[in-house]
């Protein structure tokens, strides 16, 4: 689990996940249906990116975003509050990683067909 409290920590976490999967920024952009510039800006922690695209990148990396530490209906948190507020958790998903591997392989085959 990675605690995300800023756009910079989100960018660092996504870059680390991309590198762990052995993907280039261009490959991730293709898999997520985003532009290369978007991936670069996201990994740099740019705070004004479209959430829709951020979620597609997270999904392409085989992860989910889960919010935690929200107060219950009684006004009290189920978890201990922290100074940084609500956290985001990244959870891996093997099925999505396999789908991403297949997509990258297909993209590489298409690329080879055009060379």
2 in any annotated domain: no
Question: What pTM value is reported for the model?
Answer: 0.61
Residue-by-residue DSSP string for 12-49: HHHHHHHHHTT--HHHHHHHHT--HHHHHHHHTT-TT-
Give the structural domain span for 22.
7-71+84-114
78 in any annotated domain: no
State pLDDT tens for residues 26-41: 999 999 999 999 999 9
Contact at 8 Å (CB) between 31 and 103? yes
The sign one gets for the Cα dihedral 85, 90, 18, 61 is negative
State pLDDT tens for residues 10-24: 999 999 999 998 999
54 in any annotated domain: yes
Looking at residue 95, its pLDDT comes to 55
Band of residue 90 on the pLDDT scale cut at 50, 70, 90: very low
> Average pLDDT, stretch 64-69?
74
What is residue 74's DSSP assignment?
Answer: T
User: Residue 26 maps to which CATH number?
Assistant: 1.10.260.40
Domains in the chain, number: 1
Residue-by-residue DSSP string for 40-100: HHHHTT-TT--HHHHHHHHHHTTEEEEEE--B-TTS-BSS---TT-SEEEEEE-HHHHHHH
- The per-residue pLDDT of the chain, averaged, comes to 76
24 in any annotated domain: yes
51 in any annotated domain: yes
What is residue 92's DSSP assignment?
Answer: E
Instruction: Measure the CA angle with vertex 77, ends 64 and 66; round to 5°.
Output: 5
77 in any annotated domain: no
């Amino acid at each position: 689990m990675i605690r995300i409290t800023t756009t910079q920590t989100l960018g660092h976490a996504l870059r680390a996940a991309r590198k762990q999967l052995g993907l280039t920024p261009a490959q991730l952009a293709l898999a997520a249906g985003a532009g290369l510039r978007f991936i670069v800006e996201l990994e740099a922690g740019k705070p004004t990116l479209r959430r829709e695209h951020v979620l597609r990148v997270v999904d392409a990396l085989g992860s989910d975003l889960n919010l935690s530490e929200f107060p219950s209906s009684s006004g009290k948190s189920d978890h201990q509050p922290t100074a940084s507020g609500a956290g985001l958790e990244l959870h891996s998903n093997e099925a999505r990683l396999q789908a991403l591997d297949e997509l990258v392989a297909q993209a590489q085959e298409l690329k080879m067909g055009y060379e």
